[in-house]
């Protein structure tokens, strides 16, 4: 058994990052303890309205390390190693006092919406806590109840951070990815980041197990945030072993420190296969398109799937072209967050199962008696011969089949417009980030095979965000 440390809600839009605080805790505690496994960056329900950016919390394990150590970072010129296993080597209270010093030093207490908390537990809370927190809404009380008797829990201000801190500890990866996060020296935090875009493209091409690096469609790098936070850039991938060589390819400003996190990013853990469409939940729904897509103010595109509106927002950019080419009768699966008012599914990913045939009328029916074309009686009302007044049904007209440009397959927004938790199609071998915009990909057998397998938890009653996509 080891000490499980969880921390959340320490940063604000004006600065700081909970992962930087994690590096400070790692820097200090590795003086006296061993780090066990990778530090973890755990994303929770992206539809929580009180999140600052990407609803991320961190978890680290410390104790007496067992097994051969491996390198996970470098902080203040010191190489940081972790052990695959470990056992506790002191009382949680002693560790908690040291963690408190860092949380109190670095948290943005000045921000009204920052409500820090941390926990030092000897065991993980139930996995159900994680599943509820990544898919629904968890109350402070129920999070605390899940950690009762497991160790020390401390919170500040309204204490909301305990939900994220404890849920991050509760994560047992069913699927996982990794991210190497690099940080700037404090004096650089408010200045513009210097990263050479060509080096990001080179890195992206040379390390195919990394993802969400460069948006080739909109020609911009997406590994760096835009906020005045300590992060220089982050590279995400499936294989932690390539992250360090990938990091070294990036040219420009030199990071002051770096740390590899194990994460639930890009896993689709937030997606439920549910018929019930509760606001705040992210669901995967299948059905037929029942209305043609229409553009609404702001550049968004809306269509109906069964009796539910589905919206592709302006920030999803070229993805909207795919959505615009849908037609009534198409069979699709839509993945997205349910927004309460107006009720709509905010589209994250789309699978086109089959497209319906579309026809264009090229001639009115021919009246064989009078050798004349019948006249239309109005929309959907059929036809009548102008001479003998004989009626003809709609189907008697001559139609040409319209070639559909939309191909069956999976579609997703460009790299820069994806949610942290959304599984990129590249991860499941369907498409590469270099594929042309709106390119279609193979059938979804593998994604179907990766369904949540009974791990669904009850989603609560979240208030959805207005803006559908996270800041990277």
The site for ligand ATP (CB under 6 A) is made up of 8-9, 11, 18, 44-45, 48, 50-56, 115, 133, 137-138, 160-161, 163-164
Q: Which is nearer to ligand ATP, 53 or 324 (CB)?
A: 53
- Least gap, CB of 55 to ligand ATP (angstroms): 5
- Least gap, CB of 137 to ligand ATP (angstroms): 4
Give me 41's structure tokens: 């960056």
H-run or E-run covering 233: strand 231-237
- Least gap, CB of 226 to ligand ATP (angstroms): 13
Q: Which is nearer to ligand ATP, 264 or 355 (CB)?
A: 264
Q: Which is nearer to ligand ATP, 41 or 323 (CB)?
A: 41
Check if the beta carbon of residue 42 is closer than 8 Å to that of residue 130. yes
- Least gap, CB of 160 to ligand ATP (angstroms): 4
- Least gap, CB of 32 to ligand ATP (angstroms): 27
- Least gap, CB of 19 to ligand ATP (angstroms): 7
Handedness of CA 23, 25, 31, 32 (dihedral sign): negative
Virtual torsion, Cα 234, 17, 240, 222, nearest 10 deg:
-20
Q: Which is nearer to ligand ATP, 54 or 252 (CB)?
A: 54
- Nearest residue to 2 via CA among 114, 121, 119: 121
- Least gap, CB of 8 to ligand ATP (angstroms): 5
Check if the beta carbon of residue 193 is closer than 8 Å to that of residue 251. no
Name the DSSP letter for residue 105. H
- Nearest residue to 419 via CA among 463, 450, 464, 462: 464
Q: Which is nearer to ligand ATP, 400 or 471 (CB)?
A: 471
Residue 366 has phi, psi (to 5 degrees) of -100, 125
Q: Which is nearer to ligand ATP, 160 or 257 (CB)?
A: 160
Residue found by looking up tokens 């070229």 in the block: 318
Q: Which is nearer to ligand ATP, 83 or 132 (CB)?
A: 132
- Alpha-carbon distances of 108 from 42, 224, 252, rounded to whole Å: 20, 21, 29
CA distance 433 to 435: 6
């Amino acid at each position: 058994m080891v000490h499980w440390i969880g921390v959340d809600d320490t940063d604000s839009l004006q600065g700081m990052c909970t992962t930087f605080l994690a590096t400070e805790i790692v820097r200090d505690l590795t003086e006296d303890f061993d780090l066990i496994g990778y530090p973890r960056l755990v994303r929770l329900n992206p539809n929580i309205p009180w999140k600052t950016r990407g609803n991320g919390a961190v978890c680290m394990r410390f104790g007496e390390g067992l097994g051969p150590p491996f390198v996970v970072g470098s902080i203040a010129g010191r190489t940081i190693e972790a052990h695959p296993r470990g056992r506790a080597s002191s009382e949680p209270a002693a560790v908690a006092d040291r963690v408190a010093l860092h949380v109190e030093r670095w948290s943005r207490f000045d921000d009204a919406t920052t409500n820090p908390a941390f926990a030092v537990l000897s065991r993980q809370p139930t996995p159900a806590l994680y599943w509820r927190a990544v898919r629904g809404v968890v109350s402070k009380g129920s999070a605390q109840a899940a950690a009762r008797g497991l160790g020390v829990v401390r919170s500040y201000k309204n204490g909301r951070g305990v939900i994220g801190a404890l849920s991050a500890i509760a994560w047992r990866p069913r699927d996982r990815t990794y991210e190497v996060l690099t940080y700037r020296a404090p004096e650089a935090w408010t200045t513009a980041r210097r990263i050479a875009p060509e080096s990001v493209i080179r890195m992206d091409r040379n390390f195919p197990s990394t993802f969400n690096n460069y948006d080739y469609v909109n020609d911009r790098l997406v590994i760096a945030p835009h906020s005045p936070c300590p992060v220089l850039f982050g590279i995400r991938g499936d294989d932690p072993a390539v992250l360090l060589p990938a990091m070294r390819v990036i040219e420009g400003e030199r990071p002051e420190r770096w740390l590899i996190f194990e994460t639930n990013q890009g896993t689709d853990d937030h997606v439920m296969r549910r018929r019930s469409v509760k606001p705040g939940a992210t669901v995967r729904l299948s059905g037929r398109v029942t209305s043609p897509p229409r553009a609404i103010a702001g550049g968004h595109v809306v269509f109906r799937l069964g009796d539910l509106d589905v919206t592709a927002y302006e920030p999803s950019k070229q993805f909207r072209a795919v959505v615009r080419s849908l037609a009534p009768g198409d069979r699709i699966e839509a993945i997205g967050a349910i927004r309460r008012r107006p009720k709509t599914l905010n589209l994250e990913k789309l699978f086109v199962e089959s497209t319906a045939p579309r026809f264009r009328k090229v001639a009115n029916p021919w009246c064989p008696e009078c050798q004349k074309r019948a006249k239309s009686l109005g929309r959907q009302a059929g036809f009548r011969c102008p001479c003998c007044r004989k009626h003809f049904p709609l189907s008697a007209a001559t139609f040409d089949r319209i070639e559909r440009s939309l191909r069956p397959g999976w579609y997703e927004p460009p790299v820069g417009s994806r949610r942290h938790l959304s599984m990129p199609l590249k991860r499941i071998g369907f498409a590469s980030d270099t594929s042309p915009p709106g390119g279609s990909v193979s059938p979804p057998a593998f994604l179907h095979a990766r369904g949540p397998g009974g791990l669904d938890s009850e989603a609560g009653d979240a208030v959805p965000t207005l803006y559908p996509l996270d800041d990277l």
